[in-house]
Amino acid sequence: MKKDYYDDDLGEIDYAEQYRRQLDRYNKLSQNDDYDDDDDDYEDYYDEPVKKQPQKKSAHKGSRYNAPDKEQLKKNFGSSGQDKKRKKKKMHPAKKIIIIILIILLLLFILLQVFLWKYIGYIKKADTGTRNYTQASMKSDDVLNILLIGSDTRDPDENGRTDSIILLSVDKSKKKITMTSFMRDCYVTFPGIDNDGDGAYDQGKINAANVYGGRELLLDTIEYNFDIAVDKYFYVDFMSFAKIVDSVGGIELDITDEEAAGMEDPMGEQNNIFGNPAGTDYLDKGGKGLHVNGNQALAYARLRYVGNADFQRTERQRTVITKIIDKAKSLGPFKIGDFMETALSSLTTNYTSSELYWLSYKLPFIAGYEIVSQRIPEDDGYTYGDHDGQSTLDVDFDNAKSQLRTSIYS
């Protein structure tokens, strides 16, 4: 019978040696699938317990156990008992470049979001009030209609008459922008308004809609009379308009000598409002491609009594807006920020912040669209009228609707 190596008379057991023997056996088994466990000398390992060689006393007081040599264990560890050094794989240079590019793109995207929300914050937001009419039949998912409203009121909180009413129709399928000016003297019906109590909707010049019912009534009036859907607007007062022109460094206009002389009257009023000395920015004569500042461009857009009266006035307004857009496209990265801050802080809209955020992603594409312009009514689409002692344009509404359908939706 074999001796039990745990007998007290055998003395201390060399645990390191027992560990080595067990590890050798494990290695043999792992290296040889045909190894017969019955033929090994496992039992022989334990026939005679190995007496421990004299070693230094353990640092732990009263302990009979001395820990195995760490270096020896390192050498014996592993399926083959050999030292395996794991080499760290180096990242491929192409993979490094891709990761760096992705990080840069992520940082740029985050920076873009910061700037977008910053500029969106400049725009004044107004809740859309009660709408009395929104049943216009002319609408399309491909066409975005935004009403640009310009007023010469001195008080931004005042619902004054609107001297500039331009419908901006953005057609993404045709990549075209149509600017349609509505003449301020168009005689129209104001839906939902019955101030005299006669049971019929009131009528008057379209530029008075903002006075009677704010911007919502102006939107309703256009939908009701011209059958074209429009839900959103941007409002700007003419005094801020001058600052916008200055923020792009001025624009170039073709101005006749007659127009240059006629601009003195509106500029005299503007100089008084802006606190400029009398005669500031007056032009001695006109010229082709004449560089003008904001004060002069505003006077040019407001000019009514030169040329074909208000017909030509709406054309001048569309020209100035187009020139501002073209000039803004060419601004460098440092000047574009000043322009955006000035222009956006001058605007009031019924767009929400989130709607403006998504609209901002479309702007780079919209900026490259072709711009065409027209006016309502066109030359053969009206007659001169007289209502309540006021000279008006009595519009052929069937003609006007056909014009809008053809130019914007066909």
Q: What is the mean pLDDT of the chain?
A: 83
The answer to whether the beta carbons of residues 192 and 387 sit under 8 Å apart is: no
Residue 392, pLDDT above cutoff 50:
yes
Highest mean pLDDT among 111-120, 321-330, 395-404: 395-404
* Residues 6 or more apart whose Cβ sits within 8 Å of residue 19: 68, 73
Tell me the pLDDT band of 152, cut-offs 50, 70 and 90.
Answer: confident
Taking residues 133-155, report their average pLDDT.
90
Q: In whole angstroms, how large is the CA radius of gyration of the chain?
A: 43
* Residues 6 or more apart whose Cβ sits within 8 Å of residue 179: 166, 167, 168, 169, 318, 321, 322, 371, 372, 373, 374
Q: Where along the chain do its domains lie?
A: 8-76, 123-409
In this structure, the chain runs to a length of: 410
DSSP string for 246-258 = HHTT-EEEEE-HH
343 or 310, which is more confident: 343
pLDDT value for 1: 46
53 or 195, which is more confident: 195
- pLDDT tens, residue by residue, 65-91: 455 555 555 555 554 544 555 556 677
62 or 186, which is more confident: 186
pLDDT value for 161: 84
SS3 7: coil
Q: Which CATH number describes the domain made up of 123-409?
A: 3.40.630.190
DSSP string for 256-305 = -HHHHHHTHHHHHHHHHHHTPPTTTT--SS-EEEEEE-HHHHHHHHH--S
SS3 363: helix
Taking residues 49-57, report their average pLDDT.
50
Taking residues 368-389, report their average pLDDT.
93
152 or 318, which is more confident: 318
For the whole model, what pTM was predicted?
0.73
Partners of residue 262 on adjacent β-strands: none
pLDDT value for 72: 57
DSSP string for 20-80 = HHHHHHHHHHHH-TT--GGGS-HHHHTTSPPBPPP-PPPSSTT----PPPHHHHHHH-SSS
The answer to whether the beta carbons of residues 149 and 235 sit under 8 Å apart is: yes
How far apart are the two ends of the chain, measured CA to CA in Å? Answer: 109
172 or 75, which is more confident: 172
The whole-angstrom separation of Cα 219 and Cα 228 is 10
Taking residues 280-294, report their average pLDDT.
95
pLDDT value for 142: 95
Structure tokens at 291: 């560089």
SS3 138: strand
Residue 254, pLDDT above cutoff 60:
yes
Provide the CA 129 distance to its chain's centre, in angstroms. Answer: 25
- pLDDT tens, residue by residue, 93-127: 888 899 999 999 999 889 888 888 999 999 999 98
SS3 351: coil
The whole-angstrom separation of Cα 403 and Cα 5 is 111
The whole-angstrom separation of Cα 209 and Cα 158 is 13
Residue 252, pLDDT above cutoff 90:
yes
Taking residues 363-372, report their average pLDDT.
90
CA angle 204, 239, 346 (to 5 degrees): 95
pLDDT value for 6: 45
The whole-angstrom separation of Cα 334 and Cα 11 is 89
The answer to whether the beta carbons of residues 123 and 348 sit under 8 Å apart is: yes
- Environment class of residue 375 by beta-carbon count within 10 Å: exposed (0-12), middle (13-18) or buried (19+)? buried
Tell me the pLDDT band of 280, cut-offs 50, 70 and 90.
Answer: very high
Q: Which residue has the tokens 């929300």?
A: 117
pLDDT value for 4: 46
- pLDDT tens, residue by residue, 292-314: 999 999 999 999 888 777 788 89
The answer to whether the beta carbons of residues 251 and 324 sit under 8 Å apart is: yes
Tell me the pLDDT band of 376, cut-offs 50, 70 and 90.
Answer: very high
Partners of residue 373 on adjacent β-strands: 179
